[in-house]
Amino acid sequence: MKGMNNKTPWCPGILVAVAIMGLSASFSRPSIIQQMAFCAPAAHLAGFLSGAPCVKDGDNYRLIGSNLDLTVVPACAATDYFCMLAGFLSLLVTWRSLGLRAQLLVLPTAWIVTVIVNALRLTACWQTDRFAQALLPQSLWPTIHMAVGVVTFLTGMIGVYWAVYRVQGSGGRRLNWRVQ
């Protein structure tokens, strides 16, 4: 394909992300990777951001507040978001024709962004759950909780796209989609 740098190894980033997603989904119990690498940092950062103490409770973490306790279970680890973000970053690095150094930063950058965005999601859920439980019927609480997650993760993806675009600049080479 014209415009694509063939020396950029984008495939390993995608393969590692898919392998991690497959491994995390294949365990009936949450994996140690989910708990230690994703759930714990996000829960502690959310506790710091919200001002609520974060307490480990078995496999879960709890944000304890005056009006609401939020339990952060391993399903809240956002490992699927990490895999999607790693693949997305890998494709952006390839399409923007960035070098090998940028490709090697895909997985660490995806992990850092995942932890930060997940912590923001947990903090937002903690705040909106308080209002939802006070104002809305119980049947709507899971919908509000899910909607906050969708908005937060989508905003994180848009922010990553914007940041990669700004770092390279608008004059960078792009993938040529025309067939010649």
Every domain of the chain and the residues it spans: 11-168
Query: pTM surpassing 0.75?
Result: yes
Which pLDDT score, from 0 to 100, does residue 119 have? 94
Question: Which residues, 6 or more positions from 114, have their beta carbon under 8 angstroms from its beta carbon?
Answer: 38, 42, 78, 81, 82, 85
Selection from 23-27, 62-66, 133-137, 156-160 with the highest mean pLDDT:
156-160
Kindly give the interhelix angle for 106-135 and 40-50, rounded to the nearest 10 degrees.
50
Mean pLDDT of the chain: 77
Give φ, ψ of 157 to 5 degrees.
Answer: -65, -40
Sheet of 54-57, strand order: 54-57, 60-64, 69-72
Whether the predicted pLDDT of 178 surpasses 50: no
Instruction: Give the pLDDT score at 114.
Output: 94
Contacts 24+ apart (CB under 8 A), 86-89: 86/13, 86/14, 86/16, 86/17, 86/110, 87/13, 87/14, 87/17, 87/18, 88/157, 88/160, 88/161, 89/13, 89/160, 89/164
Model pLDDT for residues 93-140, shown as the tens digit of each residue = 777 666 777 777 888 889 999 999 999 999 998 888 888 888 989 898
Higher pLDDT, 93 or 43: 43
User: 79 or 30: whose pLDDT is higher?
Assistant: 79
